[in-house]
Structure 1
Amino acid sequence: MKDLTPEAIVQELDRYIIGQPRAKRAVAVALRNRQRRMKLPEALRAEVTPKNILMIGPTGVGKTEIARRIAKLAAAPFLKVEVTKFTQVGYVGRDVDSIIRDLMETAIHMVQDEREADVQTQAELRAQERILSYLTTPKTAREIAAELGLEPANTVESSSPLVTASAGRGRRAAGASAMALSAAAPHAAPARGETARIRNQRKKRIAEALANHLLEERIIEIELDPDDPIDSMLEYVTNISTDDTGEVISGFFTPPMIGNHRRTRRVSVRDARRLITREEAQKLIDMDQVVEEASRRAEGNGIVFLDEIDKIVGTKIDMGPDVAGEGVQRDLLPIVEGSTVTTRYGPIRTDHILWIAAGAFHKHKPSDLIPELQGRFPLRVELDSLSEADFRAILSQPEHALTRQYQQLLATEDVQLIFTDDALDAMARFACQMNDRQENIGARRLHTIIENVVEDLSFDAPKMAGQTVTIDAAFVEGRLGSIMANEDLSRYIL
């Protein structure tokens, strides 16, 4: 993780997210405190826990994006979950412990990708050799050589000179044939040597063609290691990971039922290179080290974003338990506070995982959460609704602004798209008006606005190669003015 100051972290977030300075400062301090904690003596380090954050604000103002960007900046395992998908332990549905299991899976993939990148070159060489072995079987090699004109000169092979001699003399006397047999015997061994030489030349030329990517579309049959059959079958049939069922169901499956044979697939050389390279890379890395490093990252640097936490706040239910509301809140208490969760990779401690919860809290207040859960989110930041000026900035300032995205998309069709300043002002104004008139969906309104503006251009772009199109305020008014004037129509389109 980079040794960034809180100010530098906020500046980095400003490249992608407009406004919300208080939320940015809160997550910047939380990230910096992690760096500070790692410099403490080990005895004190274990006692310093992260201060979890509760973000309060309407949808589309940057809550999720702030958490996602901060995780990417810290190179930390990050997981976003919708708390409305969980139910209380003991009832049908996912329990909250699966959050930690999913976070660990994310950490495993992160570390595994890094280790595979380190051995990528070696894995590619191994994959090249395996593909070459598939391409140089006698029959396949002759087909490729004939197709690409790679057959070396003088490749006419005969079993021995005797055959040629006999064919040429056809009807001569039997005595002459016997003499030819004795004369040809000394030359039989060199013929076999010439065959091996031709095969080596053919293999060398096929290897050159493979290295130059001349055989990418050729279909070959390859063998791959089998996938985990239990996981694949259970997740396909039940949509539940084996982590959620433990090893109980796995015990019903014996090795003869599952089988451990290598899979055979017919794929193009291009796809074979990708599949075999990944398989060879996995063979080159030590999975025990991957699991150890992933566990360390998940426990020490993991970030979990709990979205829609206000949706599990409800009115008191007089009859029966509230298994999807207060029950979930109570199940969250131990893992947010710090506990041990069992995963397929071993136990994971949650003491130092940073939890960021978010919700609009339109119908409820943060104080409606159960008191114990409120205390586990000591930092609260309110995110402001976006103004017209914010919409204007969102359209132009971020590195991946929507206007730049559409410009690059149409550039692939050789169409140059230009947005004038007054066009940006008009789109920002329309977005702000629609959010005031209907549900406030924040910056997501801009996706609808700009898509309607460039819809015809996107459709006709293949016929407009080489043209330059300028979108100004009049263009935007022409596309959106009539829709905005009709409130019923705008309700469905914008």
Structure 2
Amino acid sequence: MSNLTPREIVSELDRYIIGQNDAKRMVAIAMRNRWRRQQIDPELRDEIAPKNIILMGPTGVGKTEIARRLARLTNCPFFKVEATKFTEVGYVGRDVESMIRDLMEIGVSMVRKEETEKVRIKAEKNAEERLIDLLLPGKKPERQGSMGFFAGSQDGAVEPVEPPKKDDGTREKFRQMFRQGQLDDREVEMEVTVQSGAQVEIMAIPGMEDMGNNLQNAFSNMFPGRRKMRKMKIKDAYQALIDEEADKLIDPDAVNELARERVEQSGILFVDEMDKIASRHDQTGGGSADVSREGVQRDLLPIVEGSVVNTKYGMIKTDHILFIAAGAFHFAKPSDLIPELQGRFPLREELSSLHKEEFYRILTEPKNALTVQYKALLATEGVTVDYTQEALEEISAMAEKINEETENIGARRLYTIMEKILATLSFEAPDKSGQKIVIDRDYVIDQLGQVVEDRDLSRYIL
């Protein structure tokens, strides 16, 4: 992240998202400002608040994708939540603080994965030694636990004994065979940790999810894991041993502390459907609904302003978490939000609708384009698929036409159209192994012509 300039961030986003240049520039500046803030004297650093963003535009134009790709690009903890989740059961809804707890869980998982990669080489080495111990011929101990080798004495007591002597030549022979993959399908018996007792699921009362999590942890501690002998293939046993050894090498307290710092300083919360909690002042007969929406906004306000949220990993400050809100804002406008919340989203950008030119670029330019995905899927059956330029232009024109005549769902229309075009080929692909299929304009019209002409039919199928 420290090496990415705004221009480089936009360039990376261009690889996946077509158009919306103004929105890309805005989020790129916001991310660069976070890096700039880290270079400032600590006294002034705490005074600089993030400039939260509202992205406005119809569905399927790239609002969520911009935020998701940005978080992945900068390796920041990212969590997407729908604002309507907080109104599903009326004013109470879901506790708004739960999104901070969810973001923290993602941060911990991200840091744990990074720390595991750092110790992976040592964990693999230790796991290999343990696996060779299990593979070596000779008398097997009755039980091998984390404390060493054990054997039963005459009176039935369990006493530690010295591990059997290992021949170095035999050990190296097994090591070479294992590294060459000659033992992957052989079975070995080893101890694994299993959860004793039944799993207890706690149904938390709306607004009291934190209490539910605490009860869940309490019940889990009442039924600690126990060791059990289990037969596994060597390649599966090796992976299980790597996980065990990595857990031993990682300090959970250090992981939690690093995750907390990362969430507080670089976390991103994407609040979708923000327009659904805005009070529309021109409507009639919706008084109770407006009360519910305004109540959610007031619950959300302290989180966005900056407060302290209690999680099972400790207290999390939200002062410097970046909030990106999004919504269609067809009926409600950002000005319909309560003034205090408006002031916490100073940056606003309207994303433009997509037309056939953008649809064509979406089908051809991104490295994860739909055409590339379907080509790869059918290649697994031995079928080679190619698309002509005229076919892609026809698909783009149809997507624009159907969006205009029915509901405008943006680029998501391409999913339904591509699936309809390739449905027959996908079904028959196992019988066409070794063939090359060319998708041309006539093929597209043949598959879609009747559906597109019948407006009522296209409304339900496409």
Q: How high is the TM-score relative to the length of structure 1?
A: 0.80
Give 1:123 shift: 1.1
Distance 1:57 1:320 in 2: 23
Distance change (3 Å), C-alpha of 1:20 and 1:9? same
Distance 2:310 2:136 in 1: 49
* Partner of residue 292, structure 1: 257
* Partner of residue 418, structure 2: 450
* Partner of residue 281, structure 1: 246
Give 1:125 shift: 2.0
Are 2:371 and 1:406 aligned? no
The residue type paired with residue 118 of structure 2 is D
Are 2:215 and 1:249 aligned? yes
Distance 1:33 1:229 in 2: 50
Residues 351-373 of structure 1: CA distance to partner in whole angstroms, max 9, x if unpaired? 11110000011232222222211
Distance change (3 Å), C-alpha of 1:140 and 1:60? farther
Question: Does the aligned pair in 2 maintain the 1:407–1:417 contact within 8 Å?
Answer: yes
Give 1:138 shift: 4.6
Can you give the 5+ residue segments of structure 1 that lack an aligned partner in the other structure?
142-194
Are 2:22 and 1:54 aligned? no
Question: Does the aligned pair in 1 maintain the 2:451–2:457 contact within 8 Å?
Answer: yes
Can you give the 5+ residue segments of structure 2 that lack an aligned partner in the other structure?
142-163
Are 2:439 and 1:474 aligned? no
Question: Does the aligned pair in 2 maintain the 1:88–1:331 contact within 8 Å?
Answer: no
* Partner of residue 393, structure 2: 425
Distance change (3 Å), C-alpha of 1:110 and 1:271? same
The alignment partner of 2:226 has SS state of coil
Which sits farther off after the overlay, 290-299 or 215-224? 215-224
Give 1:419 shift: 0.8
* Partner of residue 188, structure 1: none
* Partner of residue 459, structure 2: 491
Give 1:57 shift: 0.5
Are 2:227 and 1:262 aligned? yes
Are 2:318 and 1:350 aligned? yes
Q: Residue 201 of structure 2 is aligned with which of 225, 234, 238?
A: 234
Q: Residue 441 of structure 1 is aligned with which of 380, 386, 409?
A: 409
* Partner of residue 275, structure 2: 310
Give 1:113 shift: 0.8
Question: Does the aligned pair in 1 maintain the 2:61–2:353 contact within 8 Å?
Answer: yes
The alignment partner of 2:10 has SS state of helix
* Partner of residue 330, structure 1: 298
Distance 1:92 1:211 in 2: 58
Question: Does the aligned pair in 1 maintain the 2:272–2:326 contact within 8 Å?
Answer: yes
Question: Does the aligned pair in 2 maintain the 1:79–1:304 contact within 8 Å?
Answer: yes
Percent identity over the alignment is 50
* Partner of residue 155, structure 2: none
Which sits farther off after the overlay, 264-273 or 469-478? 264-273
Question: RMSD over aligned Cα, in angstroms?
Answer: 3.1
The residue type paired with residue 479 of structure 1 is Q
Distance change (3 Å), C-alpha of 1:228 and 1:54? farther
Question: Does the aligned pair in 2 maintain the 1:87–1:95 contact within 8 Å?
Answer: no
Are 2:429 and 1:461 aligned? yes
Give 1:233 shift: 2.7
Distance change (3 Å), C-alpha of 1:440 and 1:229? farther
Distance 2:197 2:346 in 1: 44
The residue type paired with residue 493 of structure 1 is I
Are 2:345 and 1:415 aligned? no
* Partner of residue 174, structure 1: none
Which sits farther off after the overlay, 257-266 or 31-40? 257-266
Give 1:275 shift: 2.3
Give 1:274 shift: 2.1
Give 1:69 shift: 1.1
Which structure dedicates a bigger proportion of its chain to strand? 2
Question: Does the aligned pair in 2 maintain the 1:53–1:378 contact within 8 Å?
Answer: yes
Distance 1:390 1:361 in 2: 22
Distance 1:67 1:450 in 2: 25
Question: Does the aligned pair in 1 maintain the 2:93–2:206 contact within 8 Å?
Answer: no
Give 1:410 shift: 2.0
Question: Greater CA radius of gyration, 1 or 2?
Answer: 1
The alignment partner of 2:385 has SS state of strand
* Partner of residue 159, structure 1: none
Q: How does 1:32-181 map to 2 (within 5 A)?
A: 32-87=32-87, 93-136=93-136, 138=138
Give 1:488 shift: 2.0
Q: How does 1:355-366 map to 2 (within 5 A)?
A: 355-366=323-334
The residue type paired with residue 410 of structure 1 is L
Distance change (3 Å), C-alpha of 1:309 and 1:47? same
Give 1:253 shift: 4.7
Distance 1:69 1:349 in 2: 24
Give 1:227 shift: 5.9
Distance 1:319 1:105 in 2: 34
The alignment partner of 1:114 has SS state of helix
The residue type paired with residue 367 of structure 2 is E
Distance change (3 Å), C-alpha of 1:27 and 1:136? same
Residues 412-449 of structure 1: CA distance to partner in whole angstroms, max 9, x if unpaired? 22322111110110000111111111111110110111
Give 1:264 shift: 4.6
The alignment partner of 1:234 has SS state of coil
The alignment partner of 2:349 has SS state of strand
The alignment partner of 2:191 has SS state of strand
Question: Does the aligned pair in 1 maintain the 2:307–2:317 contact within 8 Å?
Answer: yes
The alignment partner of 1:223 has SS state of strand
Give 1:127 shift: 1.9
The alignment partner of 2:364 has SS state of coil
Question: Does the aligned pair in 1 maintain the 2:126–2:245 contact within 8 Å?
Answer: yes
Which structure dedicates a bigger proportion of its chain to helix? 1
Give 1:254 shift: 9.3
Give 1:486 shift: 1.5
Distance change (3 Å), C-alpha of 1:28 and 1:433? same
The residue type paired with residue 234 of structure 1 is E
Give 1:465 shift: 2.6
Distance 1:14 1:420 in 2: 24
The residue type paired with residue 373 of structure 1 is L
Distance 2:207 2:379 in 1: 43
Question: Does the aligned pair in 2 maintain the 1:3–1:35 contact within 8 Å?
Answer: no
The alignment partner of 1:61 has SS state of coil
Distance 1:319 1:87 in 2: 12
The alignment partner of 1:19 has SS state of coil
Question: Does the aligned pair in 1 maintain the 2:385–2:436 contact within 8 Å?
Answer: yes
The alignment partner of 1:454 has SS state of helix
Give 1:400 shift: 1.1
Question: Does the aligned pair in 1 maintain the 2:201–2:216 contact within 8 Å?
Answer: no
Q: Residue 215 of structure 1 is aligned with which of 161, 183, 186?
A: 183
